[in-house]
Structure 1
Amino acid sequence: MTPCAVTTGFFTLGKCGQMAVAGCSSCGRAICADHIADGGLCPECAAARNQLSHPAAVAARRRRSYRQRSSEQYADTVWYTSFDTFDRAAFDPDAGARQDYLDDGDGALVDS
């Protein structure tokens, strides 16, 4: 069983995980029956081509345009790639179990 690799979620993004029934005709990403957009495309490829008839393609387009706008706002198109593993760790669901993020007993909410 190959799981669907389409990004889903609103505040917390994740992979769909349903059983894939096809591959995107453009990028080959595994997609389930719920996420096949027009032309057999995944939502991200459909959004890149401005084919917004599928709700997941609309969401993908919004995420894409937000990333483009925010990178332009900071005048750095590779701003997100400059984050190191420490910067990204706060968004890792398993980071709370690591020693660097455990409470050190000083009463602070987050260990710094």
Structure 2
Amino acid sequence: MTPCAVTTGFFTLGKCGRMAVAGCPACGRAICADHIADGGLCPECAAARGQLGHPAAVAAQRRRAYRQRSSEQYDDTVWYTSFDTFDRSAFDPGAGASQDYLDDGDDALVDS
């Protein structure tokens, strides 16, 4: 079973995880039946093309617009690309099961 890789959530983003039925023709991302947008695209690719007929495409467009506005506000258009794999790992599917809750010498704070 290939899980759907579409980003979902409101405050906490994650991957959909339902069984994929197709792949996005533009980027190849696995898509479930609930997330197929106009033209068989994933919501992110549909938002990039301005096709906002699917609610998930509207959400993706709002996330894209926020990232663009905030990068312009900080006068750094590549700020989000500076994140390394550690920064991005919290958004990887299944990452919640492999968190480090050990005391690593930083005042007994847990790593998240």
Report the Cα distance in structure 2 between the residues aligned to 1:101 and 1:70, rounded to whole angstroms. 34
Per-residue CA distance 1:73-104 (angstroms, 9 max, x = gap): 00001223334677x38x67555614348753
Aligned length: 104
Per-residue CA distance 1:8-39 (angstroms, 9 max, x = gap): 00000000000000000111110000000010
Percent identity, aligned pairs only, is 77
In the other structure, the counterpart of 1:38 is: 38
Report the Cα distance in structure 2 between the residues aligned to 1:37 and 1:13, rounded to whole angstroms. 19
TM-score when normalising by structure 1: 0.79
Report the Cα distance in structure 1 between the residues aligned to 2:53 and 2:34, rounded to whole angstroms. 13
**Which residue identity lines up with residue 29 of structure 2 in the other structure?**
R
Task: Give the SS at the match of 2:52.
Answer: coil
In the other structure, the counterpart of 2:29 is: 29
Gaps of 5+ in 1: 105-109
Task: Give the SS at the match of 1:97.
Answer: coil
- Structure with the larger RCO, 1 or 2 (CA within 8 Å, 6+ apart): 2
TM-score when normalising by structure 2: 0.79
The structure with the larger Rg is 1
Contact 1:43–1:54, Cα closer than 8 Å, also in 2: yes
Cα–Cα, structure 1 residues 22 and 75, in superposed 2: closer, same or farther, change >3 Å? Answer: same
**Aligned residues: CA RMSD:** 2.4
Contact 1:95–1:101, Cα closer than 8 Å, also in 2: no
Report the Cα distance in structure 1 between the residues aligned to 2:31 and 2:104, rounded to whole angstroms. 37
Query: Does residue 1:52 correspond to 2:52, yes or no?
Result: yes
In the other structure, the counterpart of 1:63 is: 63
**Which residue identity lines up with residue 36 of structure 1 in the other structure?**
I
Gaps of 5+ in 2: none
**Which residue identity lines up with residue 4 of structure 2 in the other structure?**
C
**Which residue identity lines up with residue 18 of structure 2 in the other structure?**
Q
Report the Cα distance in structure 2 between the residues aligned to 1:11 and 1:34, rounded to whole angstroms. 20
